Structure 1
Amino acid sequence: MKTPFLSQYDIIIFDCDGVLIDVNLLKCEAFGKAVGGYSSEIVDTFVNYCRKTFGISRYVKFKEFLSDFANEPFQEEKYKIFLNNFAKICKEIYEYADITPGCENLLSELSNQNKNLYVASGSDEKELNEVFMERNLSKYFNGIFGSPKTKLECTSIILKNHPDKKAVFIGDAFSDMKTAKEHDIDFVYMSRYTVQSEEQDLICRKESKKVISTLKDLIYSSHKSENTKYVPI
């Protein structure tokens, strides 16, 4: 088994949702369920916003829900209820969600090559570490980072641990692409499970070093994959 494209990198950073685990649509729905009790119009608008900004931390989004969607002043108690609701739903989602095609084969191969593998995610860091332990994925990674730190902060921590090493970020969202560009590292765009807008999808394709459908493409091909047609969800 070979990974020719990734052989040029010392540090490989993965987003989690929609890259390692197929949870994007389920987590978008979870944002709506977490704020249940509001009108369907408010909730639906919020869920659509969450899809367009996927990869941004829940700690940011629930504050935005109160100020920008519910038009209410910040309420610490209500904010914590939203976070707790969301965490409970996510725990269930991660327990049964599918690992993406090629994920474990790729991680195993890269680990055997002594590559430095990391996760930089918008999901909760403590939650991610528990999930990765339960799903037997943590053994592949040097570190698993998430919110409340931003992806920029997570990636900065990773890169500071490996100065002068070549790195790549594999993600499925506009926020992943922006993180890679901010740190001046290559970006691989994984398109199959993205829930972002067509405009964001096209930007990610344009700005990427390589476009793939799933991680399986990185095992079997050293050439840039065909840009799969965008299909609105």
Structure 2
Amino acid sequence: MQPPLRLIIFDFDGVIAESIAMKAEAFRETFSFVPEYQDEIVQYHLDNGGMSRYAKFRYIYREILCQKLTGEQEQRLGDRYAGLVREKMYTIPLVPGATELLIAWSRLLPLYIVSATPEEEMLMIAEKRGLADYFAGIYGSPRPKADCIRNILGENGISPGEALFVGDAPQDLQAAVETGVRFIARVATGDIDRFSGCPGVEAVVADLYTLHAYLLSTPTDNTSTSR
């Protein structure tokens, strides 16, 4: 029997915000100077949703373009991509049920964001969207997600089995497995389900209304908040 749940960690893109398609298009535009490789680059981006953009840039140059990537080029790519997505992230729709879930569960348990988005950028998005107050902490790259999760467990003094990570990418599941926390996958209706039946996946939900209903049936310990 699992111990009561004492905190919840969320990825952001594809879990709280419906930003996957928009960011894929921004990745395509970032690499508009190599049109013959754009489809392969975008597919790599989509297949590695939980990875930082800079790690993707390095892989793309090394394995797809077979070119050396300088620090200056990497920064220009990062600036171009950020410029394409920044304003859109302030208005992109949230995943259905996100607002209701955050209002309800932020009153019961500490909630966290762990994202591959650069941390300063993630903090700004949460502030601009009016979401920051729902979270006890917001973490982003360049720190690996597993390191962020370990930090959250440590600062709350809880065991991995008392924490839940909600993600939408294989890298999110990997971070959950590495740290021992529970994992629920969000797979939007119509998307390919890469999680059902995988070891370590507790449940698969289509939206946050479904997650909210699932959590209501899960034992929790709402006396443990560190907020």
Work out whether the TM-score is over 0.5.
yes
2:105 match: secondary structure: helix
Moved more, 17-26 or 29-38: 29-38
Q: Percent identity?
A: 28
Aligned partner of 1:144 in structure 2 is 138
Moved over 6 A (4+): none
Cα distance between partner residues in 2 of 1:45 and 1:189: 25
Q: Deviations over 1:14-33 (max 9, x none)?
A: 00000000001111121121
Cα distance between partner residues in 2 of 1:194 and 1:137: 27
- Residues 50 and 115 in structure 2, CA contact (< 8 A), matched pair in contact too: yes
Q: 2:81 is matched with which residue: 79, 86, 91?
A: 86
Please show how residues 124-143 of structure 1 align to structure 2 within 5 Å. 124-143=118-137
Q: 1:184 is matched with which residue: 174, 180, 185?
A: 180
- Residues 186 and 205 in structure 2, CA contact (< 8 A), matched pair in contact too: yes
TM-score after normalising by structure 1: 0.85
What's the CA shift for 1:151?
Answer: 1.1
| 2:208 matches 1:215 | yes
Q: How many residues are paired up? A: 212
Cα distance between partner residues in 2 of 1:80 and 1:190: 31
Q: Deviations over 1:53-100 (max 9, x none)?
A: 111101101111221122111212211110000111120220221011
- Residues 17 and 92 in structure 2, CA contact (< 8 A), matched pair in contact too: yes
Could you list the runs of 5+ residues in structure 1 that have no partner in the other structure?
1-6, 225-233
What is the identity, as a one-letter code, of the residue corresponding to 1:106?
A: L
- Residues 172 and 194 in structure 1, CA contact (< 8 A), matched pair in contact too: no
Cα distance between partner residues in 1 of 2:206 and 2:78: 32
- Residues 19 and 193 in structure 1, CA contact (< 8 A), matched pair in contact too: no
Aligned partner of 2:13 in structure 1 is 17
| 2:96 matches 1:101 | yes
Please show how residues 166-181 of structure 1 align to structure 2 within 5 Å. 166-181=162-177
Q: Deviations over 1:177-216 (max 9, x none)?
A: 1111111111011111796xx5xx3345533111111111
| 2:51 matches 1:60 | no
Q: Deviations over 1:107-156 (max 9, x none)?
A: 1111222x111001111111110011010000000111011111112112
Cα distance between partner residues in 2 of 1:170 and 1:63: 27
Could you list the runs of 5+ residues in structure 2 that have no partner in the other structure?
219-227
Change (3 A) 1:223 1:116: closer
Cα distance between partner residues in 2 of 1:128 and 1:193: 26
Change (3 A) 1:202 1:37: closer
1:16 match: secondary structure: coil
Change (3 A) 1:116 1:178: same
| 2:192 matches 1:206 | no
What's the CA shift for 1:106?
Answer: 0.7
| 2:121 matches 1:121 | no
Cα distance between partner residues in 1 of 2:5 and 2:87: 35
Aligned partner of 1:47 in structure 2 is 42
- Residues 18 and 193 in structure 1, CA contact (< 8 A), matched pair in contact too: no
What's the CA shift for 1:41?
Answer: 2.2
